[in-house]
Structure 1
C-alpha cells in the first residue's frame, strides 16, 4: 500500500476523482445543485441571434446542451452520483465476496466444485441484460408515476449491481485463498501449531491484499462500463422519466444518463455526448 501511494499514476488518479467529487458536493451544498444556463441572445433589433445548443468555446468551455445548460457544470454536478455509485458498488462487491470466501474457501473439494459449477455460467451471461430485466420495471417512469420513492429505487439498483457479480467474484477469491493455503509456509505454520484463524489473518491475507486492490480497480471499471451500457438502454440511476413525445430525462445528472438521453445528438451536436464520454474515459484511466 505504501508503494502504491508513492506512484505518480495513483496520486494523479486519486486526485482527479477527489477533485471531481469535491466540486460536485460543493455545488450541491452551496448552489443547491443548480447548473449554469445560458440565455437566448438577441441582436439590437430584437431578432434572435443565437440559441442553444451552444458549441464548445462559444458561451461555455465545453458547450451547452439543448436547453442551454453548461455541459461542464452538468458533468460536475453528476460526478457525485457517477463516481459515488461506482465506488460504493465496487466496495461492497469486494467486501461481501471477501466475507463469503472466508467461510467457504476451506469447504470440501466436492462442495467447492458444485459452487463453481453454479457460478461459472452466470459469469458468461452479460451483466447488462440481467440488470436491464431486473431494473426496468422499477426504474422507468410509468403513466402513474414512479411506484417507489427515490431512495427505494436507488437502494434496489445498488443491490442488483452488487449481487450480480458476487458468485463469480467469490469463487475467484476462494481460488486465490485455496492456492495460498497450499503453500509450504502455510503447512509449516500448521505444523508449528498455529490456529486456523491465526494462519488466515497473519499468513494468508498478507499474500492477497495487493491482488485485492487490483481487483477493486477491475470491479470499478466493470461497474463503470455496466452503467454506460444501462445508460444507452435508458436505464438511468434513480429513475428514467419518459413522457408522451418527449425525450427521456434523468432524475439525476449521472453521466451514463447524460449519454443515454443525449445519444440522439451524436451526429448533429456531438459535444453533448462527447463531454460525459470524455469524463467517463478519464475516470476509467484514473484507476486503470
Structure 2
C-alpha cells in the first residue's frame, strides 16, 4: 500500500501544496500585492459599479468593501494561516514529546497529581484562556501597540503552544507508560538495557505512528482556535482598533472572518470565502490523517500476518 496511490492523501496534500506555493509566489513575484478594482466608470465619468462586487461579476469569488479580490486575498493569507498552524502544531508535539520523556517514569503519585491538574484544563475552552492572555498584548490602543511585532508574534506562539501542553503531555505519558508495561520492554530491562536505549530502540518505534496522527489532530485544533480568536478580534500579529472598523496586520484567514462578520447578512461572500478555505484546509488535513491511519493499520496487519 502506497500513500501516493491513495486518493485521500493526493487530494489533501495537493490542495495544501498548491495553495502554499501560490501564496509564496504572490509574495516573491508580486510583492504581496492583491488585485483591486475600486470603481468602474461610465463614459460620462459617472460611477457604473462600486465594491463590494459579488462573485462572478468582476472577480471569481467577489471582492471586499474596498474592491480587493477575495480569492487573491485568501491566497495571499494562506502562507500565514497554514504556516502559523503548522508551526504551532509541530512545536506542541515537539515540546510535549521531549517533556514527556522526562516525566513518563515518575512515581504513580506524581503522575496522578499531573493528571489531576491537566484533565480539568482539557475541558475548559482553550479559546477563553487564549483570549484573556492575548487580548491585552495584541490589541491596538489609542497609544498604539505596547509591544513591537516580533514580541506580539512570539508571545502569541508561546500562548498557543502552552495552553495545550498539560493535556497533551498527559496523553503522551499515558502512551509511553502503556508501552513500558509490555512484556518485550520488561525483557529488555532484564537484559540490562538502559532507559535511553529502551526509549529510543523500543518505545519510539511503537508510538511514532500515533504521534504523526496526533500532529494532524493538533493542526485541526489550532486551526479551529484561530477561527474562534478571529471572531473575537484577537488576530495573529495584532488587531488595529481605531475610529473605523478593526483591521489586521496580516491577511491571515481568521482575521478576514472576524473583521468581516458584520457583512454576514448583506455581502455574505466576504465572510464565506475565507470560511470555505478554512473548511477545505481542515478537510484536506483530515483526509491526509485518514490516509495515514489506513496505511498504519495496513502495516500492522501485514506485521501480524508475518508473525503468525
Distance in 2, matches of 1:90 and 1:169, equals 11
Match of 2:295 in 1: none
Task: Report the RMSD for the aligned CA atoms in angstroms.
Answer: 1.2
Return 11-20 or 141-150, whichever deviates more.
Answer: 11-20
Deviation at 1:193, TM superposition (A): 2.4
Match of 2:268 in 1: 270
Distance in 1, matches of 2:194 and 2:4, equals 33
Match of 1:215 in 2: 214
Judge conservation of contact 2:38–2:66 (CA < 8 Å) in 1: no
Match of 1:121 in 2: 120
- The 3-state SS of whatever aligns with 1:37 is coil
Q: Structure 1: which 5+ residue stretches go unaligned?
A: none
Q: Structure 1 residues 187, 6: closer, same or farther in 2, change over 3 A?
A: farther
After superposition, give the CA deviation of every residue in 1:17-61 in whole Å (9 maximum; x if it has no partner): 121111111111221111000131122232211100001111101
Match of 1:85 in 2: 84
Return 6-15 or 253-262, whichever deviates more.
Answer: 6-15
After superposition, give the CA deviation of every residue in 1:82-125 in whole Å (9 maximum; x if it has no partner): 00000000000000000010000011101111111111111111
Please report the TM-score for the alignment, with normalisation by the length of structure 2: 0.90
Distance in 2, matches of 1:6 and 1:214, equals 19
Distance in 1, matches of 2:45 and 2:195, equals 82
Distance in 2, matches of 1:243 and 1:265, equals 19
- The 3-state SS of whatever aligns with 1:45 is coil
The answer on 1:106 being equivalent to 2:105 is yes
Q: Name segments (4+ residues, structure 1) moved above 4 Å.
A: 2-6
Match of 1:150 in 2: 149
- The 3-state SS of whatever aligns with 2:35 is coil
Match of 1:280 in 2: 278
Match of 2:51 in 1: 52
Q: Structure 2: which 5+ residue stretches go unaligned?
A: 287-308
Return 45-54 or 86-95, whichever deviates more.
Answer: 45-54
Please report the TM-score for the alignment, with normalisation by the length of structure 1: 0.97
